[in-house]
Amino acid sequence: MSTAAQDTGQISDGYHTFDELYRYRMLYHAWAVKAWQQAGWPVMKSHRHHDGQLCFGGGWFIVTAQLPSGQVSNHYRDLYWHLFDCPAVDCAPEWDGHTPQQAADRIEKTLRNPTQKLWKGQTVLCTWPGCGKSLVLSDQWLVDVLNELAPGIMFVVGNPPATSWICVSGKGFYCPKHWHLDPDDEHWELGPREES
């Protein structure tokens, strides 16, 4: 770390230094990750951005969450990796362009309305741990149907089923790779699809 960066970390508002505030933010975020996963919202960490490049050239990782209000993410030094109890993936989901202000607004919006319904244009992530695939909900009729599903009901998003996503109300979305339909009894199951 450069001397300038060390000096910046010691700047204080009279109560806390930048270093203290960043540490608080990181620890609160690690706790939030636990709560977000319990709520069924996908959270993952990776040493690489979606394009496969190491975060800041190495020594850093990114934590990305898909809240009902949208994507939020933060970077941290590798020494904090073990504090974030969430699936590790090869590459992070593609960044949606959110700014720190937008991420803060999304977190606040979710705090104010944690049961917010889905909306047209929303990007959802596959809930299967470590997957990271995304789907844009582009049709209003589909959003309306999904918002009315009773908890635990499964709805196939697309046709044919072999290439479709499913939504399990109250549990999340699953890409074609992480659910399958038993052809004999037409019973669906979550889990990796067996290659034929």
- Render pLDDT for 41-86 as a digit per residue (tens, 0 to 9): 889 999 999 999 999 999 999 999 988 888 999 999 999 999 999 9
What is the per-residue pLDDT for 27?
Answer: 96
**What is the phi/psi pair of residue 32, to 5°?**
-60, -40
State the average pLDDT over residues 126-133.
80
Q: What is the pLDDT of residue 158?
A: 75
User: Which two structure tokens, joined as six digits, stand for 140?
Assistant: 């209003």
Between 40 and 36, the more confident residue is 36
By mean pLDDT, which of 6-20, 80-94, 180-194 is the weakest? 180-194
Task: State the distance between the two ends of the chain, measured CA to CA, in whole angstroms.
Answer: 51
- Mean pLDDT across 124-132: 80
Question: Domain residues of the chain, as ranges?
Answer: 1-116, 117-196
Task: Assess whether pLDDT exceeds 70 at residue 109.
Answer: yes
Asked whether 72 and 103 are in contact (CB, 8 A), the reply is yes
Helix (H) or strand (E) holding 18: helix 18-38
Q: How many helices (H) and strands (E) does the chain have?
A: 4, 10
CA distance 80 to 142: 40
pLDDT in tens, 3-25: 555 578 777 777 768 788 889 99
